Amino acid sequence: MPTIVFASPKGGVGKSTAAVLLATELAGFGAAVTMIDADPNKPLSLWARRPGKPNNLTVVADVTEDSIIDIIEAAALKTPFVIVDLEGTASMMVGYAMSRADLVIIPVQGSHLDAAEAAKAIKLVRAQERVFKRTIRYTILFTRTSAAIRTRTLQSIEAEFYQNKIPMLEAQLNERDAYRALFAFGGTLSGLDSAQVSNIPAAIMNARIFSNEVVKMLKTDMPVALAKEMA
């Protein structure tokens, strides 16, 4: 049932990577998933053309501003999960997709520039909530973080989001060779060749922890921030 939208006005923050990781994890546990590739660079479509895409995962491309709402609504009637990967710019398409989202995930790298761009996405979510008087759950996902070091910049950004009551996923997607390899070879993390890609088990575990947190979040109707406070 959930429609999960990955949004950030900034490109290169890991939207497509996070979307593919979540989609392949869900599909790997038996859920039918539709991915909507609304990025003009078509990263999901390029990934899907390579071998190894799960059979229960469908990628829909050729999405326009005029069609995205209809495509999301049609997909939500067909598969339990709909995942939308948006372009890395502020556009009307972002607003349309958010209006149909059960959860908006805003990927952010550990930089103040990314955080400022994420704030723009949050403002759009909040504007829709205010005007339409409906809750749109959203959360920050830190991406490309170090598995070993939590930088001071990242800590300061986390503290700023926390002070402003911006929900953040506990899980972070670390910078990993395996995530880049997904787009080079296609398929899933478990389908990668350990002779060609380093540390695949850690990448799988990282993706699993992220996906598990998202699934848990989707199972509660509570606002994200409240759910985290009560945890």
Partner 1 sequence: MSKQRASIFDEPIDLDVSSFSAKKSVDTKAPSRAQVKAVTQALAA
Residues that bind partner 1 (CB under 8 A): 1-2, 25-26, 28-32, 69, 73, 76-81, 90, 92, 94-96, 98-100, 123-124, 127-128, 131-132, 134, 147, 150, 158, 162, 170-172, 174, 201-203, 205-206, 208-209, 211-213, 215, 218-219
CB of 174 to partner 1, least distance (A): 6
CB 91 within 8 A of CB 7: no
**DSSP string covering 29-52:** TT--EEEEEE-TT-HHHHHHHSTT
Closest distance to partner 1 from the beta carbon of 210 (Å): 9
Q: Between residues 62 and 66, which has the closer beta carbon with respect to partner 1?
A: 66
3-state secondary structure of 162: helix
Q: How far is the CB of 228 from partner 1 (least distance, A)?
A: 10
Query: Of 42 and 192, which has the nearer Cβ to partner 1?
Result: 192
Backbone angles phi, psi at 5, to 5 degrees: -110, 125
Of the pair 191, 228, the CB lying nearest partner 1 is at 228
Q: How far apart are the C-alpha atoms of 65 and 15, rounded to whole Å?
A: 19
Q: Which is nearer to partner 1, 45 or 99 (CB)?
A: 99
Q: 44 or 125, CB closer to partner 1?
A: 125
CB of 155 to partner 1, least distance (A): 9
CA 76 vs CA 2, 32, 36, 80, 171: distances in Å: 8, 11, 11, 7, 26
Q: From the CB of 190, what's the least distance to partner 1, in Å?
A: 12
Nearer to partner 1, 146 or 196 (CB): 146
Distances (CA, A) of 34 to 14, 75, 99, 194: 19, 6, 18, 28
Cα–Cα distances in Å, from 138 out to 9, 68, 177, 204?
15, 19, 28, 24
> Smallest gap, in angstroms, from Cβ of residue 152 to partner 1?
14
In order, the DSSP letters of 205-225 are: HHHHHHHHHHHHHHT--S-HH
Burial of 38 (0-12, 13-18, 19+ CB in 10 A): buried
